[in-house]
Amino acid sequence: MSLSIELPEDVSVALEAEWGDVPRRTLEAVAAEGYRSGVLSESQLRRMLGYESRMQVHAFLKNAGVFLHYTEADLDHDLETHQRLGILPTR
C-alpha cells in the first residue's frame, strides 16, 4: 500500500527541521502504535521497517517506549527451553 499525506507547508517545515526524514518517522510511528495496540506482530514490524532481526525490532520498540508482548506463558516456555538446552538447571 502506498500512502500520501497532505501537510500545511509550515507543519512540513517544522517536522523536517526536527525529524529530518518525515516519511520514515511517520512509518515508525504507525509501526509502534500498530504493535502497541496489538494489531501488528514483531514479524510484521520487522518486514515493515526493513529490519533483518528481531533484536532490531526490540531495540526499535524500546526506543519508541513500547513494551514487548511477553506473557507468563512465554516466560515458562523460555525457561523450559533453557533447561532443555542445559543453560539453566532444572527447577
CA distances 37 to 34, 40, 47, 50, Å, are: 5, 8, 18, 20
In the chain, the amino acid numbered 85 is: L
Asked if residue 63 is part of any domain, the answer here is: yes
For 64, which DSSP code? H
Query: What's the rounded Cα separation, in Å, for the pair 25 and 16?
Result: 10
Asked if residue 1 is part of any domain, the answer here is: no
Asked if residue 49 is part of any domain, the answer here is: yes
Is the pTM higher than 0.85? The answer reads no
pLDDT digits (tens, 9 = 90+) for 46-85: 999 999 999 999 999 999 999 998 889 989 998 999 989 9
Asked if residue 32 is part of any domain, the answer here is: yes
| Polymer length of the chain | 91
Asked if residue 89 is part of any domain, the answer here is: no
Asked if residue 57 is part of any domain, the answer here is: yes
Residue 18 grid cell: 526536527
Asked if residue 35 is part of any domain, the answer here is: yes
Asked if residue 91 is part of any domain, the answer here is: no
3-class state of residue 41 by DSSP: coil
Q: Which domain holds residue 52?
A: 9-84
Number of domains in the chain: 1
